[in-house]
Amino acid sequence: MEKFKNYVTHLECGLTGQADYLPGEIHGLSQAGRPLLVRYALKAMKHELNKNDIWARPGGFWKWRELLPLMNTENLCALGETDTPLQPCPRLQKDLNVTGEILMKDEGRLPTGSFKARGLGVAVAMAKELGLKRLAMPTNGNAGAALAAYATKAGLESYIFAPDDTPDINIREISLQGGKVWRVNGLINDCGKIVFDGKEKMGWFDLSTLKEPYRIEGKKTMGLELAAQLGWSVPDAIFYPTGGGTGLIGMWKAFDELEKLGWIGSKRPKMFAVQATGCAPIVKAFNDGTKHADLWEDAHTYAAGIRVPVAVGDHLILEAVRESKGAALAVSDEDIEIARQQIGQREGFLVCPEGAATFAAYKRALKDGRIDGADQVVLFNCGNGLKYPMEEQAGVLDRRHPIDYDALK
């Protein structure tokens, strides 16, 4: 059995710091009911690993295996992962009259078409390594698709529950990739309750956002990859679509680990948690100055991926935003759609609504003076835009009559 060196030392509670959780055991939330964070022997890693050697490896996010919790390569369940492109947006810069680079990190290029592949790929691999057989989770769409694909690849069962207005394409891809899927007349937190209540009866492991330690580790590879792509540095600001917030928390963790390894300096990007005005619990908590976010009632937005009324990792999201001197910003569905069309028509990028929300928030931050026009910013497009409804824009021609070509101009 092939092995690579594993540097995990322990896990600790992200709220209390309690650090007596052992690796190699099955963990959910901490005793305080909050997310657990994986810790590594970074001093040893600093002397034994070379950042450029790691970056030169193939395999997408699996190349960071020493900074991941997996022990045995036989449990790695790969689906053709790749490093996602960091695309410059010069026309958007010109439109906004800014000199700082606007870069779009296009996570839609990953397996199953979204950044959920990172977290679920690692979480499922760890589930296999720990001997779990049946996994369950609530989803707004893309996470369920990623779980179904990776669980099937790993030979595990997956049970997935989605709000009844989840895009049809997500439901169908979950099923086609081997997942057992149900629509539920409620929101994602209602689906989460079904998963929680069914644990004893069904014998499944709850893979809900941040209710196990390893999705964070997969998502943190966004930060590792971004730093490497920028020549082992970080941008001035990151705008990230925030529902459960796993990726924002993961990137913040990645930057801390990279600095301790000596691979980047002490500079940190301003972290902007982007939500929709119809579901903005993190924004409200940020503005209110509280440590935790209350349940958001009557949550609604067409950007379904950020329609998360309550996040178990709220305090970790807020800590990262505040420590980085960033902000939590809410944008309207109307502004999201305007941004989506502007990105597509000016840069040729077909982004998902959640990704478009980051550009809408960037424009808001510029207007409010939260960032400078000279700042280099990274916007995260979290999913393939082809998964989402698009307005009909085509004209109609009758081939049986002469075509008025002048009218086409």
**Cβ distance 105 to 84 under 8 Å?**
yes
Q: How many domains does the chain have?
A: 1
Checking if the pLDDT of 89 tops 50, the result is: yes
Q: Classify residue 203: in a domain, yes or no.
A: no
Q: Classify residue 73: in a domain, yes or no.
A: no
CB atoms within 10 A of CB 167: 17
**Predicted pLDDT of residue 1:** 42
**Predicted pLDDT of residue 220:** 98
**Predicted pLDDT of residue 295:** 94
Distance CA 390, CA 384 (A): 12
Q: Classify residue 322: in a domain, yes or no.
A: yes
Checking if the pLDDT of 122 tops 80, the result is: yes
Enter the pTM of the model: 0.95
Is residue 106 helix, strand or coil? strand
Checking if the pLDDT of 281 tops 80, the result is: yes
Q: Classify residue 378: in a domain, yes or no.
A: yes
Tens of pLDDT, residues 154-171: 999 999 999 999 989 999
Pull the structure tokens for residue 41. 């022997």
**Cβ distance 350 to 290 under 8 Å?**
no
Tens of pLDDT, residues 165-208: 998 999 999 999 999 999 999 999 999 999 999 999 999 999 99
Place of tokens 């307005």: 391
CATH number assigned to the domain comprising residue 291: 3.40.50.1100
339: left (phi over 0), alpha (psi -120 to 50) or beta: alpha
Tens of pLDDT, residues 133-146: 999 999 999 999 99
Q: Which residues contact 322 (CB under 8 A, 6 or more apart)?
A: 286
Provide the residue type at 333 as one letter.
D
**Predicted pLDDT of residue 391:** 83
Checking if the pLDDT of 97 tops 60, the result is: yes
Pull the structure tokens for residue 40. 């590594």
- Average the pLDDT over 395-399 and give the result: 93
Q: Which residues contact 313 (CB under 8 A, 6 or more apart)?
A: 14, 34, 35, 209, 210, 244, 245, 246, 249
Q: Classify residue 359: in a domain, yes or no.
A: yes
Percent of the chain with pLDDT over 90: 94
Q: Classify residue 247: in a domain, yes or no.
A: yes
Tens of pLDDT, residues 35-72: 999 999 999 999 999 999 999 999 999 999 999 999 98
**Predicted pLDDT of residue 3:** 61
Q: Classify residue 266: in a domain, yes or no.
A: yes
275 pairs with which residues across the strands? 330
The domain of 231 spans 86-110+215-387
Q: Classify residue 354: in a domain, yes or no.
A: yes
**Cβ distance 1 to 72 under 8 Å?**
yes
Return mean pLDDT, the chain: 95
Place of tokens 């296009």: 106
Query: Within 13 Å of residue 393, how many CA atoms lie on the same side as its CB?
Result: 5
114 confidence band (pLDDT: 50, 70, 90): very high
**Cβ distance 88 to 101 under 8 Å?**
yes
Tens of pLDDT, residues 206-228: 999 889 999 999 999 999 999 99
